[in-house]
């Protein structure tokens, strides 16, 4: 990553709004993505951590921009301690020296954690999925796979896809018969990319592109689309509000969000204590009862009621035919594939 000059870093830093707090060692600033996820984090992690007497949590939110973290680290003015990051940003930030290296021993034995949830610079907070969803009130027989999603004769009508290369190209290859375990090997070749876009050509006129996570559920309820790719949490929320939407778990793509410690944090030890606390089974169980994202610990999953487990990406039955998003692949190839996708979509 190209190093920015100090003046630019200072300019970026000045644009950041920090939560107001007393700069005491017992205060920890934790930044996440806000919304319903942050509300669940408050109940599962932030409030119980404070109640344990470990320290005060000052919770803020951002949109995941590494530029804000880089500005702090570059000028040595680090006001955030723990940040929630998506998988590609965790990799980029770790490689660029924006995050502290973690001692994996802080969370104990890793054997009980899902693969890909503990790494050099981060520990996963939860797992979410991109799934196929439909409204059974609009379809007498629902789809069972991405091949069905592409079948416009059996299932006429518009179908929703996220406007971007990520997830869309994977689903196109799954619909074309690529095995989920071979997805990224195939997509890493020029032939595989051509194959994905050729498959997308088949339904391009039937696609309704979404850019906000709330849109698929809204469109499905309204009948604007007959089926859609969607975040599992958004569909579960719609179900809880009374909508009769269904999720097709086979062929879903799952990915963790992670906790990371900003390099130069003055509260590194307390930040490690927080990550350890948030990684405990009881805390993870509470989180998943507040919002339908999966715990990274199997013992936490086992403690949840069966009806809750069924909604989670990390339930064994849902994981069995799902594929972990290859964050390294998207770090290496994302820019070029997004550029090609945008050019294709604009035609």
What is the rounded CA–CA span in Å between residue 142 and residue 133? Answer: 9
Would you state the pLDDT for residue 2?
A: 31
Q: Which H helix or E strand runs over 83?
A: strand 82-86
Would you state the pLDDT for residue 103?
A: 87
* Sign of the alpha-carbon torsion through 189, 191, 195, 198: positive
Would you state the pLDDT for residue 5?
A: 34
Would you state the pLDDT for residue 35?
A: 82
Would you state the pLDDT for residue 162?
A: 96
Residue identified by tokens 């009508």 is: 157
Q: Please report the domains of the chain, with CATH numbers, ordered by start residue.
A: 6-127+256-322 (3.40.190.10), 128-254+324-346 (3.40.190.10)
Would you state the pLDDT for residue 9?
A: 38
Would you state the pLDDT for residue 17?
A: 38
Strands 323-324 and 159-162: unpaired
Would you state the pLDDT for residue 258?
A: 96
For residues 248 and 142, is the Cβ–Cβ distance under 8 A?
A: yes
What is the rounded CA–CA span in Å between residue 74 and residue 77? Answer: 8
What is the rounded CA–CA span in Å between residue 40 and residue 37? Answer: 5
Would you state the pLDDT for residue 58?
A: 97
Encode the chain (347 residues) as per-residue pLDDT tens digits: 333 233 333 333 333 433 433 344 589 999 999 888 899 999 999 999 999 999 999 999 998 889 999 999 999 999 999 999 999 999 999 999 999 999 878 887 777 888 889 999 999 999 999 999 999 998 989 999 999 999 999 999 999 999 999 999 999 999 999 999 999 999 999 999 999 999 999 999 999 999 988 899 999 999 999 999 999 988 988 998 899 999 999 999 999 999 999 999 999 999 999 999 999 999 999 999 999 999 998 899 989 999 899 999 999 999 999 999 999 999 999 999 999 999 999 99
């Amino acid at each position: 990553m190209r190093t920015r000059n100090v003046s630019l870093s200072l300019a970026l830093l000045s644009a950041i709004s920090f939560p107001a707090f007393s700069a005491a060692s017992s205060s920890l600033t934790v930044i996440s993505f806000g919304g319903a996820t942050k509300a669940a984090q408050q109940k599962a992690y932030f409030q119980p951590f404070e109640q344990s007497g470990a320290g005060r949590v000052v919770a803020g939110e951002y949109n995941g921009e590494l530029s804000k973290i880089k500005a702090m680290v570059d000028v040595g003015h680090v006001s955030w301690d723990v940040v929630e990051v998506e998988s590609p940003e965790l990799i980029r930030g770790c490689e660029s020296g924006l995050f502290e290296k973690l001692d994996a021993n802080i969370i104990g034995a890793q054997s009980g954690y899902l693969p890909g949830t503990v790494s050099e610079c981060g520990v996963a907070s939860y797992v979410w999925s991109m799934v196929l969803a439909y409204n059974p009130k609009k379809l007498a027989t629902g789809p069972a796979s991405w091949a069905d999603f592409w079948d416009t004769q059996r299932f006429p009508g518009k179908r929703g896809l996220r406007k971007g290369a990520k997830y869309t190209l994977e689903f196109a290859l799954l619909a074309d018969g690529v095995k989920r375990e071979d997805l990224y090997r195939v997509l890493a070749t020029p032939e595989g990319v051509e194959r994905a876009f050729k498959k997308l050509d088949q339904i391009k006129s039937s696609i309704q592109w979404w850019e906000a996570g709330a849109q698929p559920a809204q469109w499905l309820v309204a009948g604007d689309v007959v089926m859609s790719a969607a975040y599992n949490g958004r569909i579960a929320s719609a179900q809880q509000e009374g909508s009769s939407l269904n999720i097709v778990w086979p062929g879903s793509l799952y990915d963790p969000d992670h906790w990371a410690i900003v390099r130069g944090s003055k509260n590194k030890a307390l930040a490690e204590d927080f990550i350890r606390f948030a990684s405990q089974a009881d805390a993870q169980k509470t989180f998943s009862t507040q919002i339908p994202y999966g715990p990274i610990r199997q013992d936490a999953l086992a403690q949840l009621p069966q009806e809750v487990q069924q909604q989670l990406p990390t339930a064994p039955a849902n994981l069995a035919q799902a594929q972990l998003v290859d964050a390294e692949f998207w770090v290496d190839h994302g820019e070029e594939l997004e550029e090609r996708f945008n050019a294709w979509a604009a035609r």
